[in-house]
Amino acid sequence: MASNDLTIIDFTIEMTEEQMCERMITHICEIDNIKLRQGHALSEYNEKKKLFRSWAIEKNVLLTNKYGRTFDDLLRVCDLIKPDFVIVDYIQMVKADGMDKKAAIEDYLIRIGELAKDMNFGVINISQLNRGSASEDKSRPHIHHLKWSGVLEEFSDSVILLSWDSDANEYTIYVEKQRHGEVGKIQVKFMPEYNKFREFTLKEKGEMMENKR
Amino acid sequence: MKPAHIKEILKKIIANLEKKNEKADKQRTG
């Protein structure tokens, strides 16, 4: 994701640091994630380890499941580390100390927005969609499906929604809000074994055009 | 105390992989 001199903090609140690191290994080295989890990928890892080690060691990627479990702690860590980029996975998992959750998220978004502007770093807040969205409109998610949508929408420069077609193993990425550019959508292929998106090949694009006729 | 660098986490994962691999090898060879 980043060039070598950037510091990224990934607050992986839902997963452990090891689980997130394993996902990165499968993604970068293209090692099947089930084989890796079951411990059958050592020789494959050894063949490809240079690739991952150069990526992991050269880049300043910090993973944490221990910090950032509350909004105050998350902001404290950002203030301490002075990162270039922050990923919060995911925002509804962060605990609010003595505050209503919606008010706490609003307060957090204002404070991290100010901090990000002052310290010049970017933030990706990952959010759940309301469960109702799947039954209400099966074709695609909309911005109002974001849990506590008003607050998230208001305080974000960009809002990107993912929609998964499990039969075709394809995702549609919708750019629903873009303060500094265009909105739109793009379809990508998903490779679940590597936790990876890829663009369609020319052959696949041709087949899609044929099917539309 | 601060978040861990990915290379520190990688060490744990590889140690775990080596352990699992050793166990699988033992099971294969009886």
Higher pLDDT, B17 or A83: A83
pLDDT per residue as tens digits for the range A81-99: 999 999 999 898 898 878 8
pLDDT per residue as tens digits for the range A46-56: 899 888 888 88
Structural domain contains residue A44: yes
Number of domains in chain B: 1
Structural domain contains residue A87: yes
Structural domain contains residue A67: yes
Question: Where does the pLDDT of residue A76 fall: very low under 50, low under 70, confident under 90, or very high at 90 and above?
Answer: very high
Query: Which pLDDT belongs to residue B22?
Result: 81
Question: Where does the pLDDT of residue A64 fall: very low under 50, low under 70, confident under 90, or very high at 90 and above?
Answer: very high
Structural domain contains residue A105: yes
Residue ranges making up the domain that contains B5: 1-30
Q: Which among A36, A45, A62 is the nearest to B3, CB-wise?
A: A62
Chain A residues in contact with B5 by the CB 8 A cut-off are 60-62
Q: Best residue in A49, A59, A62, A78 to probe B by mutation, most B CBs within 10 Å? A: A62
Are A21 and B19 in contact (CB < 8 Å)? no
Q: Which among B5, B12, B17 is the nearest to A41, CB-wise?
A: B17
Mean pLDDT score across all residues of chain A: 87
Number of domains in chain A: 1
Structural domain contains residue A99: yes
What predicted TM-score, i.e. pTM, was given to this entire model? 0.85
Query: Which pLDDT belongs to residue A102?
Result: 85
Question: Where does the pLDDT of residue A177 fall: very low under 50, low under 70, confident under 90, or very high at 90 and above?
Answer: very high
pLDDT per residue as tens digits for the range A116-173: 999 999 999 999 887 665 556 667 888 888 877 678 888 899 999 999 888 888 999 9
Q: What is the DSSP string of chain A?
A: ---TT-EEEEEESSS-HHHHHHHHHHHHHT--HHHHHTT--HHHHHHHHHHHHHHHHHSEEEEESSS-SBHHHHHHHHHHH--SEEEEE-GGGSB-SSS-HHHHHHHHHHHHHHHHHHHT-EEEEE-PBPTHHHHH-SS---GGGBTTHHHHHHT-SEEEEEEEETTTTEEEEEEEEETTS--EEEEEEEEGGGTEEEPPPHHHHHHHHHHH-
Domain with residue A39: its CATH number is 3.40.50.300
Residue ranges making up the domain that contains A78: 7-126
